[in-house]
Amino acid sequence: MAGYTAISLDEDDVTESTPLTPRGRYQHASSWLSHKLLLGFLGGCCLVMASAHWLAPLTMMSTVSSLHKSSEQGHPVQKFIKRNDTNEDDLFCGIAGQESGYIKLPHKEDDHYFYWFFESRRNSHTDPLILWLTGGPGCSSLMALLHENGPCVVDKDLKTQLNPLSWNNIANMLWLDQPTGVGFSYGAPGDFDENEDQNKLAKGLHIPLQGFAIGNGLTDPLIQYAHATDMVDNAYNLTLVSDKQKEEMNALVPECIRLVQACQHDAAVCDDALAFCHGNLVTPLFTTTARNPYDIRQDCPGQQGVGCYDFSYIEAFLNSPGTMAKLGVNTVRVPQWKECNFDINRRFSRDWMKVYSQLLPPMLDDGIRVLIYAGDADLMVNWQGNEAWTVALPWSGQAQYRNATHKPTLFQGKQVGYSRSYANMAFLRVFNAGHMVPMDQPEVALAMVDSFLRNEDL
């Protein structure tokens, strides 16, 4: 990252706002989607649905990747894509080619996944594809698109402004709302996603996956909750609890571990594990001093919005009739967009305490690149626990990774974090960032992704 140079945009481009000048009919950019695929994540507070949130969207991406290319070849998956054409002559988020629409899973009765795709501003034919999936579980990826790493951001006047630090500076980008019931995605009430169900579509389809990243994710609660109180000694010199409180909290760690272990074999215990571990080891860290659990640098006295943030203007923008029409939203099935669906969140609550790190070793040994990154101001899923589980992960390169030294991560000559890496496994701690690294450190996040795509040191 030390040698990273941000891509510059024309001066006229960065001043554009909604509606942008029509660029003429958009020419089916999805023909390139069979290129290399990098899967990117924003780990929500409980990014633990490894099969549901990793493998299933890859299956759907394979379907999307063949859409326009196969339209002339009669590919059998073509019929499962409903591409919206209403925004082709009125691009309103950035300057690159874009499309939106729905993906229907053939083995489900009524599942329709909403996607919004943008070409790379650099070279859409040779740049890789990044699929972004927001966690929660149950939160819309469009929030990240419009406030973190997408081609445009929405201001409080409900207009879009070009984002010069969008990840589509260096890659083709696709944001997907998942599971059904989240964002603009919809399905039959009794057809909510289950982990293994979605993998049925994968048979016979090759996914050109090159790597994936997880940001501030909960991947191994057995290890991560044991490190929850590490944030008492934080880089920001903030007092979260007293020394006595910390001692009392640490005394509860063994019981938390026991419950998490039991949860792996008995789903009925998972609710108790979540309530005990989170309630005793995480919640006191932010309630005692009214801090923002997603960024301890901020106060959160009134719990405004979801996670102490007020994104009501983004909700208003996405719920406007004009936006919905341009995106091709099925307003009969989805009359209103919400940042997070807490009914979905509750349905996945027993997955929160499941350990999913064991899914990584086969992928690492197959050469798939893995990046775990974490903002160091996040309390909900802290950086210490994230690094700890990567060190404990059993794979062929475990010893070398464990013995790897921390290297300073530089951006424009300034240290912005540090990394640990060996072969195709890497961990990055990002300074001065909370749960949403691309929002707090957009330049650093873009440089991180660029280095990862190039397979360079972070």
In a domain, 3, yes or no: no
| Residue 227 and residue 215 in one domain | no
Q: What is the mean pLDDT of residues 29-58?
A: 36
User: Sign of the CA dihedral 208, 211, 217, 223?
Assistant: positive
Q: What is 199-219 written as a DSSP string?
A: GGGGTT----EEEEEEES--S
**pLDDT at site 447:** 97
| Residue 147 and residue 122 in one domain | yes
> Which residue, 287, 307, 327, sits at the end of a domain?
307
| Residue 93 and residue 174 in one domain | yes
In a domain, 312, yes or no: no
Cα 314 from Cα 339, distance rounded (Å): 9
In a domain, 49, yes or no: yes
Cα 208 from Cα 202, distance rounded (Å): 12
pTM: 0.85
Cα 329 from Cα 364, distance rounded (Å): 38
- Residue 280, pLDDT above cutoff 50: yes
Cα-Cα end-to-end distance for the chain? 5
- Residue 137, pLDDT above cutoff 70: yes
**pLDDT at site 425:** 97
**pLDDT at site 21:** 30
Residue 341: which residues within 8 A CB-CB, separation 6 or more?
136, 138, 139, 181, 182
**pLDDT at site 64:** 33
> Which residue, 307, 340, 375, sits at the end of a domain?
307
Report how many domains make up the chain: 2
Q: Are strands 81-84 and 129-134 parallel, antiparallel or unpaired?
A: unpaired
**pLDDT at site 70:** 30
User: Sign of the CA dihedral 276, 282, 284, 290?
Assistant: negative
| Residue 227 and residue 197 in one domain | no
Instruction: Write out the two tokens for 361.
Output: 């070793």
**pLDDT at site 310:** 87
**pLDDT at site 198:** 56
> Which residue, 283, 307, 331, sits at the end of a domain?
307
Cα 330 from Cα 87, distance rounded (Å): 15
Q: Where are the alpha helices (DSSP H) in 108-266?
A: 142-144, 221-224, 243-250, 253-263
Cα 368 from Cα 210, distance rounded (Å): 5
Reference 374, options 55, 1, 42; nearest CA is 42
Mean pLDDT over each residue of the chain, to the nearest integer = 81
| Residue 282 and residue 157 in one domain | no
CATH assignment of the domain containing 30? 3.40.50.1820
Q: What is the mean pLDDT of residues 417-431?
A: 98
